[in-house]
Amino acid sequence: MTGSAKHHSSHPTALVTGGSRGIGSAIAVELADRGARVAVHYHANRAAAEAVLGSLAGSGHLLVSADLADATAISRLWAEVSDTLGSVDVLVNNAGIFLEHPPLIASYATWQDLWQRTLATNLVGPANLSYLAAHSMSARSQVINAAFGRGRIVNVSSRGAFRGEPDAPAYGASKAGLNALSQSLAKALAKRDVYVYCVAPGWVETEMAKASLSGPNKSNILDEHPLGRINRMDEIANAVVYCALDAPGAMTGSIIDVNGASYLRT
């Protein structure tokens, strides 16, 4: 465990899952720049997570590891963050996996395996963390401040929840489920002044996207984007941090598209 001893301050405390790379690292950096103490979660790549931790502005940050497909590990993770940093003000469910399994190509065994793994990480894991956050945040005797409420949960979804993912249907289904989870929790927790938001990115300039953007589908991907480029990580991070710290309570339950108009819902 890396971090400081438990302490309380006026700065919000945030747990960011999948904070060792990509969008998660950008979110962690932006939150720290805004004065938050950040628990950076990672699954396996400790070196990358340590690099992110070392880049954060301010002090009092924490490095934590857990397999989000393991409910017991999630319970330990929440306890570690709470015991070390104090109560968590913001939960950002960012971690996710994208595993291809085209329905007419994947074997039945592969189909079953990848559905189970994807849903466990992308949907059930965030649901379990949100459960723990909801109980912790709603139990506070008073709001942190009138605008912020008692706590906030921000889920990182995907445009794939709406447009479909033909080569990774479990991913699309998991993100659609995350949207529904967000809206269900927003209704359930509103009376306790705990707010829930969802940000749905499209293509983002991450390491995960490089292979696709350097391959034969690059022109097709860019043709989808009126901006002539895919989205930057800082653009997604800014939207997430807005929800985490600034969005009004009246926006609870919102699903915010950040995809450069590459997919427009009606």
The reported pLDDT for the residue numbered 10 is 66
The reported pLDDT for the residue numbered 213 is 76
Tokens of 263: 């997919």
The reported pLDDT for the residue numbered 8 is 38
Q: Collect the ranges in the chain with pLDDT lower than 70.
A: 1-10
CB 116 within 8 A of CB 70: no
Determine what percent of the chain is predicted with pLDDT higher than 70. 96
The reported pLDDT for the residue numbered 4 is 37
- Mark whether 263 is an active-site residue: no
Between β-strands 62-65 and 2-3, what pairing exists: parallel, antiparallel or unpaired?
Answer: antiparallel
The reported pLDDT for the residue numbered 3 is 42
Catalytic entry in 108, 131, 171, 263:
171
Domains of the chain: 2-258 (3.40.50.720)
The reported pLDDT for the residue numbered 2 is 42
* Phi, psi angles (nearest 5°) of residue 68: -75, -5
